[in-house]
Amino acid sequence: MAKHTKLTVATEVGTFTRTTVRTYTHLVVAGPTRAEVLEARRQEQMAESRREIAEYGAPGAVINHIAAERARVTRNGMSPAQVDEWMARIAHLHTDETFAGYAADAAATLARLEQEGPVTVDRDAPGVLGWCGRLDLAMKLAATEQANPYRWVRVVDVTTGETVRTFAHGEQTADTVLALREARRTARRRVRRTWGRR
């Protein structure tokens, strides 16, 4: 059985640990989440709450939902007997009280989000996007959509804790592509040399 190693990396933005059997050379750290991203998420949650209030709070919502559910399971190829069994099994979900509860929960969420007001400042502490075994993989991770919501992304050397590269938001894509291409070329040359010796 492989031996587990605990890695602890102290960086200028925090200390990060991981227990693993793998070997990691670089760490990708991101922080804080941009205010505009948080505000967009808040707006999406508010729209979803309004949709749920309209769907579950409308007169006849239970009847409409039962009809839609019956049509959905019939389209999926269930026999009439299976449809009846399914509808009986989920009947407790289709009551006026249940739907009123859904609408009340959505209304409470909407009220909370409206009370909080617009998000104007970045939030969240820096966190780990990923641990990588090679620099080119860390650079690639820093350039992905996964890194997009954050104000900055840093590639950190695991052994020293030193920041290899810091990207500001939006900077990742353009110049990282060039760095990735060069890293891939270097990796291909290394593989060709290794295979050529055999």
Q: Are residues 43 and 95 in the same domain?
A: yes
pLDDT tens series, the chain, 198 aa: 678 889 999 998 899 999 999 999 999 999 898 999 999 999 999 999 999 999 888 888 888 888 888 888 888 888 888 888 888 887 777 788 888 899 999 999 999 999 999 999 988 888 999 999 999 899 889 888 778 888 899 999 999 999 998 888 766 555 555 666 666 677 677 666 666 554
Q: Are residues 100 and 139 in the same domain?
A: no
Task: State the total domains in the chain.
Answer: 2
Residue 178 buriedness (CB in 10 A; 0-12 / 13-18 / 19+): exposed
Domain around 142: 5-34+126-197
Q: Which of 73, 92, 116 is the last residue of a domain?
A: 116
Q: Are residues 56 and 107 in the same domain?
A: yes
Q: Are residues 142 and 97 in the same domain?
A: no
Report the distance separating Cα 137 and Cα 115, nearest Å.
42
Q: Are residues 26 and 51 in the same domain?
A: no
CB crowding 90-101: b at 16 or more within 10 Å, else e:
eeeeeeeeebee
pLDDT of residue 197: 53
CA distances 46 to 53, 100, 104, 172, Å, are: 11, 18, 14, 31
CB crowding 31-40: b at 16 or more within 10 Å, else e:
bbbbeebbee
Select from 139, 116, 114 the least CA-distant residue to 129: 139
Q: Are residues 19 and 47 in the same domain?
A: no
In a domain, 121, yes or no: no
Report the distance separating Cα 23 and Cα 122, nearest Å.
33
Q: Are residues 75 and 130 in the same domain?
A: no
Residue whose tokens read 């970045």: 122
Q: Which residues have CB under 8 Å from 79's CB, separation 6+?
A: none
At residue 12, the 3 state secondary structure works out as coil
Residue 131 tokens read as: 């641990």
